Structure 1
Amino acid sequence: MSVATFEEGPLSGPSFFLSRTALRSLALAHRDTYGAARPYPHVVIDGFLGARLASGLAGVFPGASEANWMRRDYQEQAARLGQLQRKAFEGVHGALRHLLSEFSSMSFLDFLESLTGVQGLIADPHFRGAGLHLTLRGGHLALHADFNRDRYRGLSRRLTVLYYLNPDWEPAWGGDLELWNAELSRCETRIAPLLDRLVVMAHGDDHWHGHPSPLACPEGRGRAAVAAYFYTAQASSDAPDAHGAIWAPARSS
């Protein structure tokens, strides 16, 4: 069963929407794998959207000169393009912007909660630190543990989602996502950035990951990824007790 359904619309042509029913089945099929994965909970799901939709999204993913990218060239990360959210993804194809919206949807949040067991997940519509990323030839991302708080909303980071859009990616080009153990003594999992591959992984201060070796892809190609981060709120000791609607007394006429 496909997790995406298509609808024809009079304004913008065909649109796709994530199927809540299909996503729930997918979550139940993978939740044991997610919880048992090493070095920390994660899951790799291939064929997430299907070849037709994934190929279309890959075809409109912006190249190095086709968007208002911010480039990062530091010791920890080099030849990495991102930060399109600074201008609200202006100029990015509508299909990719719609995908970002669907990653913030009820259907996808329900999927993540069923998959991971983390309840009360909150998406980030601003995609701070996330969104679209493109790493060019020679680029890399050093091993790291992700930031743990959304300081604007006072939320705790819980999950990272990565979706890859790289047709015909060759193993010799590198770019595998590496997951290392807490002691940083060995890489326990390698995940190639293949077209239509979804990765969901838990956040933790010792959840080391990255793609530290320089990319060897041809000039003109890049490692394309869509990232989304998810959070939960923490209970506050001074929060008011929960209640339903408070109805005003009926007024006599």
Structure 2
Amino acid sequence: MNRIEIGHLIYKNLLKNKAVLKEQYLSSKDKIGYFFIDDILPKELAESIYKKFPKTEDAIKKKNLREFKYLAYQMDKYDDLLEEVIYAFQDKKVVEIIAEICDLPSIFPDENLYAGGLSLMGKDNFLNPHLDNSHDKDRNRWRVLNLLYYATPNWQLENGGNLELWQNGLKEKPLTVKSKFNRLVVMATHSNSWHSVSKISEENVRTCVSNYYFSDKPIFDSDTFHITTFRAKPSEKIKDSLLQIDNTLRSTVRKVFKKGVRENPHQYKK
């Protein structure tokens, strides 16, 4: 299937469930607005997407104090279906109905896949609590929504690899959203939208298709520019101190070099 056909399927499901999804998002938007919808695509198509995912050895490994995961974003290196799925979430009708659900003014998808694309997480992989970079690659628009489509069949909550929303700050217990097969999660990104991915405990790989939407205005008027900012979980005091030092150093660099010392390679070079 191509991106237009897949986008139509996504749109139909969002439209059918629009009222429920809007209520879910609006009831949470004062903290971290989010909604999720299950079985967003036909099961056979979802299973095909999973089977086409690259192996971790064919992806880019990111392992440091902040995160441990695998990324794939140069989409012409992988099966065509994966690129079609990513850009199906950028279909004009899909973007417009998600904007309506989230009660946002005009929003824009990102054809460059800046920080988007595919992610794979295997045993012991994790993503610390963090705030996403506030802007697009050129610092012209604000990042406002994060779209996560989970593609691993039979994924169980106890496997880990689940999305954690720290709605009440990093000192309180987060809300866990299971990385359920064929589930789409849409969450707001702003200066308080701390989120993480729990460590994976099983010999299995959690796969995800990721997109970001941007806007000319931030979600909250109080939002300010920030780099991707990492913290540790409440029990990890030493790690948290080290991450805060790391945040300060990287923020200082961005004050001097608006786009960083070098161009961020995490984008699709067509």
How far off its partner does 1:223 sit? 1.2
> TM-score, length-normalised on structure 1?
0.78
Query: 1:226 Cα shift?
Result: 0.8
- Check whether the contact 1:23–1:107 (CA below 8 A) recurs between aligned residues: no
CA distance in 2, matches of 1:225, 1:92: 15
Q: Which has the higher strand share?
A: 1
Q: Distance in 1 between matches of 2:27 and 2:43?
A: 28
- Pairwise mapping of residues 100-119 of structure 1 onto structure 2 (< 5 A)? 100-119=86-105
Cα distance in 1, alignment partners of residues 157 and 139 from structure 2: 40
TM-score (normalised: structure 2)? 0.74
Q: CA deviation at 1:182?
A: 4.3
Structure 2 distance, partners of 1:43, 1:189, is 13
1:17-32 mapped onto 2 (5 Å cutoff):
17-19=7-9, 20-32=11-23
Unaligned runs of 5+ in 1: 1-5, 8-13, 236-253
Please say if 1:61 is aligned against 2:53. yes
Note the alpha carbon deviations across 1:94-130, whole angstroms, 9 max, x for none.
1111011111111211121121011211110111111
Q: What is the rounded CA distance, in whole Å, between the counterparts of 2:136 and 2:52 in structure 1?
A: 30
Which residue number in structure 1 is paired with residue 202 of structure 2?
A: 217
1:182–1:208 CA contact under 8 A, matched in 2: no
Aligned to 1:233: 216
SS in 2 for 1:90: helix
Shift of 1:151: 3.9
Closer, same or farther: CA 90–184 of 1 in aligned 2, 3 Å: same
Structure showing the higher helix proportion among its residues: 2
Cα drift, residue 22 of structure 1 = 4.5
Contact 1:27–1:115 (CA<8 Å) still a contact in 2?
yes
- Alignment partner for residue 146 of structure 1, among 132, 137, 151? 132
Query: Is 1:81 aligned to residue 70 of structure 2?
Result: yes
Instruction: Give the structure with higher Rg (CA).
Output: 1
Letter in 2 for 1:215: I
Alignment RMSD, CA only?
A: 2.2
The change in CA–CA distance for 1:59 and 1:186 in structure 2 (over 3 A counts) is: same
Q: Is the 8 A contact 1:180 1:207 kept in 2?
A: yes
Q: Does structure 1 residue 186 correspond to structure 2 residue 176?
A: no
| Paired positions, count | 215
Check if 1:207 corresponds to 2:193. yes
CA contact (8 A) 1:173 1:215 kept: yes
* Gap regions ≥5 residues in structure 2: 219-270
Distance 1:22 1:224 in 2: 21
In 1, the alpha carbon distance for the partners of 2:156 and 2:217 equals: 43
Contact 2:13–2:40, Cα closer than 8 Å, also in 1: no
Deviation, 1:217, is: 1.5
Say whether the 8 Å CA contact 1:182–1:207 is kept in structure 2.
no
Mean CA deviation greater in 186-195 or 158-167: 186-195
One-letter amino acid of the structure 2 residue matched with residue 225 of structure 1: C
Once the two structures are TM-superposed, the CA of residue 153 in structure 1 deviates from its matched residue by 5.5
Structure 1 distance, partners of 2:12, 2:49, is 23
Partner of 2:39: 47
Equivalent pair of 2:114/2:137 in contact (CA under 8 Å): no
